[in-house]
Each structure stands twice: as structure tokens, then as C-alpha cells.
Amino acid sequence: MSIATEREAQAPDDIPPAITGRWSSLAKEVLGTPRVVVGLVIIGALVLMAWIGPLFSPWEFDERDFFAFRSPPSAEHWFGTNTTGRDVFHMTMVGLQRSIVIGLCAAVATTVVAAIVGAFAGYYLGPTDRVLMWITDLFLVLPQFLILAILYPVLRGSEWPVFVILLAGLMWMVTAKMVRGMTISLKEREYVLAARYMGVSSGRIILRHILPNMSSLLIVDITINVSGAIILETALSYFGFGVQPPDVTLGSLIAEGSRQALAFPWTFWFCTGLLILLVLAVNLVGDGLRDALDPHSRRRS
């Protein structure tokens, strides 16, 4: 995206402006919204910190300092140490990495599922629609948190990617309903009708003509789902139904820290602060994107 904008900015003035493509005009919109830029900068900083930070830390991830149990932040342990003498800074950074990756993957997977279910239901209508919407309603009735918790004994031994798939499997419903609504209105547009009369197959129409035309909705949705996934993961980890040790996420660190938040505040406040900052930044980007991409909401906030 940034390469496209740079190229545009460097274009000499005397050449008539080329018709801007979807992506470069999108980039221009996005970079013109201060909230999005602020959010992206914070996210970028957090990503850098999460992946580069541990390299500077003098302690290893699972190394224990037997001379400093529960010691407050110092030059040696930047975020202090926990009950077993592990370096909180290093653990927090690793947890931040995991939370970012889980949030991103789960959000993308959620949106893909939602787009496919919603678009097929809205395009075919009739029995397909009824069956798909019944399944959607059924999933909406079941609290996601509960299902994930019930499935926990099966999950116990598995790695975090399984967890991501499950998160996605339980978060797609609301978006699917939105996509379905938009598909119903899009399928009567001239370009879709033209494609259909030319004999393009239904599957291809959905993937090539309908979904790309709601890409702005889908992009916004991915951002919203990132924060949703991170928050759901935190809740699950708090009850021990989330990612299993020795793997850590911000959620499991918060869970551990919250039990001693008063006596040893550093085990709680650092990971909590980073989590709030991360979700806040993602929400800022999502909210800004929605305003930038939705022509009806130009005058908001």
C-alpha cells in the first residue's frame, strides 16, 4: 500500500493523472485519517517491541532467577520477576507475540468463513439460505465462551493453531448476516446480471464480482474481529481454558497476575496495559477505516 502512495506522490505534475486503482485510492483515504495512522503506528511499535524486545533481554524465556523471586522492576529485571523467578519482561513480550498472531489469524479466518457463508446464502436464497441462516442462528444462541470451554478437554493437548480455528468457528455469525444482507442488494446490480447472462458460474460470480465489491466492509470487519479475538482469548485464558502452559499469551499472564495484583502489581499492570494499548490501537484503526471507507459516514467523530 505504501509503495503505491509513494509512486503517486512522485508522479510529475505535467502528466495527466492516471485513474487511481482501488488499492492506491484506498491507501490515500486511509492515510488521510489521523486515527488510523495513530493506531497503525502504535501497532507497529508493539509488533517491533514484541519481536525485538526479547533479543535485548538478558534473561531467557524459561530461565529462572533463583536470587530474585517476585522482585519489583529493576535494571536487571525490567518488569520484575514472578513467583517462580522468571523474567516478566521476556514473558510479556512472548505473550504479546502470541496474542498478536492469534488475534490476526483468528480475525482473518473468521472473516473468510463469514464472507463465504453470507455470500452463498444471500446469492442463492431459497433453501440454501434457510439452512445456512438456521445454522447461523443456532451458533448465535450458543454462547461462544461456553462452547470453547466445553471443548477444552479435547483442546488441552493441542497447539495454538487449533485454538485459532475454534475461535474463528465461533465468531463468524454476525458478519455472515451482514454479508448476506449486502449480497442480496448487490446481486441485482447490472454488472452481476451481465456476468450471469454471459454464463459465468455462480461460484465465480460470488468470488470475483460480489465479494470484492464489499471488500471495504470485510477489511473493517477483520480489524474489529482482531480485537474481539484477543478479548475472547483473554477471558478463556483467565479461567484456564485458553492456551496451555508453557505457552503464554497476554491473557494467561493477566490471569496469573490478577491473583496477586495488589501485592505484586508489576505482574499484573504491565501485561494488562499492553493488552489495552493493543486493543485500543486496533479499535482506532477499525473505527477510522470504517469512516474512511464508508461514503455515508464522512462526517463522524
Partner 1 sequence: MAKFLIRRLLSSLILVFLASSLAYLLAATTLSPRSNFEQQQPPLSAEAIERELDHLNLNDRTPLAERYATWLSGVVVGDFGQTITDQSVNEHIARKAGVTLRLIVVGAVIGATLGVAVGAYSAVRQYRAFDRASTVVAFFLLAVPTIVIAVVLQVTAVWINDVTGRQLLEYGGEYTANLDAGFWGTLADRVQHAILPTLTLVLSLFAAFSRYQRNMMLDVLASDFVRTAMAKGLTRRAALFKHALRTAMIPTITYFTFTFGILIANATFTEKVFGWHGMGAWVVDSIVTNDVNAVAAVTCFMAVCVMAASFLSDVLYAWLDPRVRVS
Nearer to partner 1, 69 or 269 (CB): 269
Residue 37 binds to partner 1 (criterion: CB under 8 A): no
Task: Name which of 181, 182, 117, 174 is nearest 144 in CA terms.
Answer: 174
Nearer to partner 1, 2 or 301 (CB): 301
Cell of 27: 491507501
Residue 214 binds to partner 1 (criterion: CB under 8 A): no
Of these, 59, 160, 268, 270, which contacts partner 1 (CB under 8 A)?
Answer: 268
Q: In whole angstroms, give the CA distance from residue 284 to residue 179.
A: 23
Q: How far is CA 152 from each of CA 133, 222, 291, rounded to the nearest angstrom? A: 27, 25, 38
Phi, psi angles (nearest 5°) of residue 81: -125, 165
Residue 245 binds to partner 1 (criterion: CB under 8 A): no
Of these, 213, 235, 247, 293, which contacts partner 1 (CB under 8 A)?
Answer: 235
| Bond preceding residue 153 cis, omega within 30 of 0 | no
Nearer to partner 1, 94 or 171 (CB): 171
Query: Which range in 48-56, 107-115, 196-204, 256-264 contacts partner 1 by CB under 8 A?
Result: 256-264
Residue 15 binds to partner 1 (criterion: CB under 8 A): no
* Least spacing, CB of residue 264 vs partner 1, in Å: 12
Per-residue binding string, partner 1, 172-201, x by CB under 8 A, is: --x---------------------------
Nearer to partner 1, 147 or 207 (CB): 147
Rama region for 73: left / alpha / beta (φ>0; ψ in -120 to 50; rest): beta
Q: In whole angstroms, give the CA distance from residue 294 to residue 10.
A: 28
Of these, 147, 207, 219, 293, which contacts partner 1 (CB under 8 A)?
Answer: 147
Of these, 36, 106, 206, 279, which contacts partner 1 (CB under 8 A)?
Answer: 279
* Least spacing, CB of residue 160 vs partner 1, in Å: 18
Measure the CA angle with vertex 161, ends 180 and 210; round to 5°. 20
In one-letter notation, the amino acid at residue 192 is: V
- Contact between 102 and 229 under an 8 Å Cβ cutoff? The reply is yes
Measure the CA angle with vertex 115, ends 33 and 120; round to 5°. 145
Question: Site residues (CB under 8 A) for partner 1?
Answer: 137-138, 140-147, 149-154, 174, 227, 231, 234-235, 238-239, 241, 254, 258, 261-262, 268, 272, 275-277, 279-280, 283-284, 287, 296-297, 299-301
